[in-house]
């Protein structure tokens, strides 16, 4: 089973692709979709949609997991991220791929067993789960991998029942 994790953003959308089988999980790929602030907002959303479709076409995921928005320190930023997230969700839904959504608290709980774990601890767990020597960079990609790993654990537990 191939799982695509996505950490939504308007400037940077992180993605992480893992494969889960009966022996565990392994890293396939990770990276970021970047948009330029100088471009019109609609063009930035369009780029996220187009790039995500390419990633999905290439990796053919069995499931996609997307992080939910949980903060609103800056409401203008939160709204833009929410709009990017909407484009991501629509892209996945249109391609008829099973979709999972997790809050940051659920992702932290799923990987560290502590919902208030610091970001660095979460990133270390990503490296540990994937048997990597170092934490994947940039942070948005590491977060997307954490989301994919969280989904893999939920899916595995649901199939085990």
pLDDT in tens, 52-95: 999 999 999 999 999 997 665 667 778 899 999 999 999 999 99
- Full-model pTM: 0.92
Task: Give 53's Cβ-side CA count (13 Å radius).
Answer: 11
Positions marked active-site = 7, 67, 140
Looking at domain 2-160, its CATH superfamily turns out to be: Ribonuclease H-like superfamily/Ribonuclease H (3.30.420.10)
CA–CA dist 105, 154 (Å, integer): 14
Decide if pLDDT at 12 tops 80: yes
pLDDT in tens, 18-45: 999 888 899 999 999 999 999 999 999 9
């Amino acid at each position: 089973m191939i799982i695509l994790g996505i950490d939504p953003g308007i400037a940077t959308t992180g993605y992480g692709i893992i494969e889960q089988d009966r022996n565990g999980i392994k890293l396939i790929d990770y990276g970021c979709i970047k948009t330029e602030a100088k471009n019109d907002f609609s063009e930035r959303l369009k780029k996220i949609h187009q790039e995500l479709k390419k990633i999905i076409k290439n990796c053919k995921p069995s499931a996609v997991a997307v992080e939910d928005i949980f903060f609103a320190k800056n409401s203008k930023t939160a709204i833009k991220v929410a709009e990017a997230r909407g484009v991501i969700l629509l892209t996945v839904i249109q391609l008829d791929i099973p979709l999972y959504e997790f809050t940051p608290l659920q992702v932290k709980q799923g990987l560290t067993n502590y919902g208030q774990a610091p970001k660095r601890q979460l990133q270390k767990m990503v490296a540990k789960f994937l048997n990597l020597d170092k934490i994947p960079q940039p942070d948005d990609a590491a977060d997307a991998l954490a989301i994919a790993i969280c989904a893999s654990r939920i899916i595995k537990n649901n199939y085990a029942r």
